[in-house]
Amino acid sequence: MNESRPASMSSFWMPFTNNRDFKAAPRLLVSAEGMYYKDVDGNQILDGTAGLWCVPCGHAQPRIVAAVREMIGQLDFAPTFQMGHPAAFDLAEQLMEYTNHRFGHVFYTNSGSESVDTALKMALAYHRARGEGSRTRLIGRERGYHGVGFGGISVGGIGGNRKPYGPLLPGVDHLPHTHNLAKNAFTRGEPEYGTELADELERIVALHDASTIAAVIVEPVAGSTGVLIPPKGYLKRLRELCSKHGILLIFDEVITGFGRLTTPFAFDYFDVEPDMVTCAKGLTNGVVPMGAVFTKKHIHDAFMEAPPGIELFHGYTYSGHPLACAASIATLQTFKEQNILENAASLRQYWEDAAHSLKGLPHVIDIRTLGLIAGIELQPIEGKPGARAYAAFKKAFADGVLIRTTGDIIALSPPLVLEKKHIDELFGKLATILKNLD
Ligand SMILES: Cc1ncc(COP(=O)(O)O)c(C=O)c1O
């Protein structure tokens, strides 16, 4: 293994990165185990973000590593167009069981972005298959993040991710976001204020007519724009309105799936059943890229009633890749064997208390928590949005903790195998950093 610094860093155009700033002072990770990364200088870095929200079971889980090793020696690749391999089918059954059979079918992708675009395409094709081809509009939400495909950025609500790329998909509208610091600051769990923002869907329906709307897509908890937790009853209300108007409801569970809220999925936590769920990340514990779309049985059935032939003209070369399937099956086993959800649930209160103990520190204007997520919002430096949190991120890395920042919000989402001592270390170091931040 190469643990030394690369000879040159100029050729790799890094994603979502200030390349020039990074390359001037790189942060290089070389190995990982359990709750910690090791950097190129041999420093231990506590993983406060599960990589990028994608390592719920912690790093280098032996069962997952062994499963991938075994599969690569047996079946390095197999197509899933007009043929298949057993692990893809076995995993699908296990995933549906993991949803308690609230969903009937799973379509494999390779990422969250692909899952989102797949779900949006399925929604359009579903209505068309049922003779409602006029339902072509897609409704997202301000401050939503649904990956970087053209579908995802169209329904997404982050200006910077949309502006450079032209007109995007036509026929898209957005619900308002639910973030309200004036009313909900320092809330533990779901905020009180903002349930009625779901009713904005009625306004959109009145404007465009329900017969033109295919689907609404939301993240149950918005992660990438800084941990926006839905107001009490908001998601239930969205469900009611979608059902009333024949609109499909898609939950983008790319970060909330696989235990983040201490339940298998956010739809379990909120007890709201969408028609489709997109997921990725924790699906393989981040070990092999993989995403998936879960659909209700009636969605799949609508396609199976078509005349014989390919029912959905969509798929990826690597849909159901053997290595990803092996990693995912082993991830599900690891969740069970190591009682990972139970561990997460047992630490929920401790996590919440530790996060809220930062209240009163310099620049902290909000703290919000749900499951094993925390968002800590800082007062921006005037004229330099994002600079204060980015400085905190760099300082944290230098001090041995990995945090994630988006704008001036620190988002924390550790592996679910953590212990109290890791929570103490994370928030202890963060408190010191905040006390000394300009
Ligand atoms: C809610 C949500 N959807 C989609 C994505 C995109 O996933 P990927 O980066 O795997 O394409 C992300 C990534 O963070 C996400 O948080």
With helix as H, strand as E and coil as C, how does 326-374 read? HHHHHHHHHHHHCCHHHHHHHCHHHHHHHHHCCCCCCCEEEEEEECCEE
Q: What is the spatial distance between Cα 224 and Cα 123, in angstroms, rounded to a whole number? A: 24
Beta-strand relationship, 36-39 and 44-47:
antiparallel
SS3 303: helix
Question: How high is the mean pLDDT of the chain?
Answer: 97
Q: Is the confidence at residue 246, as pLDDT, over 80? A: yes
pTM as predicted = 0.97
Is 145 close to ligand 1, i.e. is its CB under 6 Å away?
Answer: yes
pLDDT band, very low/low/confident/very high, at 434 (cuts 50, 70, 90): very high
Beta-strand relationship, 364-370 and 373-378:
antiparallel
Are 250 and 217 in contact by the 8 Å Cβ rule? The answer is yes
Task: For residue 327, report the distance from its CA to the centre of ligand 1, in Å.
Answer: 19
Q: What average pLDDT does this structure show over 92-121?
A: 98
Q: What average pLDDT does this structure show over 226-254?
A: 98
Q: Is the confidence at residue 3, as pLDDT, over 90? A: no
Is 112 close to ligand 1, i.e. is its CB under 6 Å away?
Answer: yes
Residue 289 CA, closest ligand 1 atom number:
10
Query: Tokens standing for 396?
Result: 């944290």
Task: Please tell me the predicted confidence (pLDDT) of residue 2.
Answer: 60
Task: For residue 167, report the distance from its CA to the centre of ligand 1, in Å.
Answer: 21
Could you give the maximum distance between any two Cα atoms of the chain, in Å? 67
Task: For residue 113, report the distance from its CA to the centre of ligand 1, in Å.
Answer: 6
Q: What average pLDDT does this structure show over 393-419?
A: 97
Show me where the domains of the chain are located.
19-57+341-435, 65-337
Percent of the chain past pLDDT 90, that is, above it, reads 98
SS3 96: helix
Is 147 close to ligand 1, i.e. is its CB under 6 Å away?
Answer: yes
Q: Is the confidence at residue 112, as pLDDT, over 60? A: yes
Query: Tens of pLDDT along 340-379?
Result: 999 999 999 999 999 999 999 999 999 999 999 999 999 9
Residue identifier of the C-alpha nearest atom 13 of ligand 1: 147
Residue 53 CA, closest ligand 1 atom number:
14
Percent of the chain past pLDDT 70, that is, above it, reads 99
Query: Tens of pLDDT along 301-313?
Result: 999 998 999 999 9
Task: Please tell me the predicted confidence (pLDDT) of residue 352.
Answer: 98
pLDDT band, very low/low/confident/very high, at 20 (cuts 50, 70, 90): very high
SS3 93: helix
Query: Tokens standing for 122?
Result: 């399925």
Where is average pLDDT lowest: 4-8, 111-115, 400-404, 406-410? 4-8
CATH class of the 65-337 domain in this structure: alpha beta
Q: What is the spatial distance between Cα 153 and Cα 58, in angstroms, rounded to a whole number? A: 30
Task: Please tell me the predicted confidence (pLDDT) of residue 128.
Answer: 97
Q: What is the spatial distance between Cα 46 and Cα 36, in angstroms, rounded to a whole number? A: 5
Residue identifier of the C-alpha nearest atom 8 of ligand 1: 112
pLDDT band, very low/low/confident/very high, at 4 (cuts 50, 70, 90): confident
Per-residue DSSP letter, 322: H
Of 51, 29, 25, which Cα lies nearest the Cα of 42?
A: 29
What are the b/e assignments for 199-213, b being 16+ CB within 10 Å?
ebbeebbeeeebeeb
Task: For residue 254, report the distance from its CA to the centre of ligand 1, in Å.
Answer: 6
Partners of residue 405 on adjacent β-strands: 410
Query: Tokens standing for 238?
Result: 């969205």
Task: For residue 145, report the distance from its CA to the centre of ligand 1, in Å.
Answer: 7
Domain 19-57+341-435 superfamily per CATH: Aspartate Aminotransferase, domain 1 (3.90.1150.10)
Contacts of 129 (CB under 8 A, 6+ apart): 302, 303, 305, 306
Distance of CA 358 to the CA centre of its chain: 25
Q: Best substitution site from 145, 261, 276 to test ligand 1's pocket, by max atoms within 8 Å of Cβ?
A: 145
Is 220 close to ligand 1, i.e. is its CB under 6 Å away?
Answer: no
Q: Is the confidence at residue 196, as pLDDT, over 70? A: yes
Q: What is the spatial distance between Cα 252 and Cα 154, in angstroms, rounded to a whole number? A: 14
Task: Please tell me the predicted confidence (pLDDT) of residue 149.
Answer: 98
Task: For residue 364, report the distance from its CA to the centre of ligand 1, in Å.
Answer: 27
Q: Best substitution site from 254, 255, 404 to test ligand 1's pocket, by max atoms within 8 Å of Cβ?
A: 254
Query: Tokens standing for 347?
Result: 């630490």
Quick one: 82 exposed, middle or buried, by C-beta within 10 A (0-12, 13-18, 19+)?
exposed
Q: Is the confidence at residue 1, as pLDDT, over 70? A: no
Task: For residue 116, report the distance from its CA to the centre of ligand 1, in Å.
Answer: 8
Write phi, then psi, for 420 (nearest 5 degrees). Answer: -55, -35
- Helix axis angle for 112-129 and 297-304, nearest 10°, is 60
Rg of the chain over all Cα atoms, to the nearest angstrom:
22
Is 406 close to ligand 1, i.e. is its CB under 6 Å away?
Answer: no
Q: Write the DSSP assignment of 105-138 as a string of letters.
A: EEEEESSHHHHHHHHHHHHHHHHHHTT-TT--EE
Count of helix runs (H) and strand runs (E) in the chain: 17, 15
Are 258 and 122 in contact by the 8 Å Cβ rule? The answer is no
CA distances from 387 to 29, 48, 143, 203, 411 (A): 23, 20, 19, 37, 15
pLDDT band, very low/low/confident/very high, at 27 (cuts 50, 70, 90): very high
Q: Is the confidence at residue 167, as pLDDT, over 80? A: yes
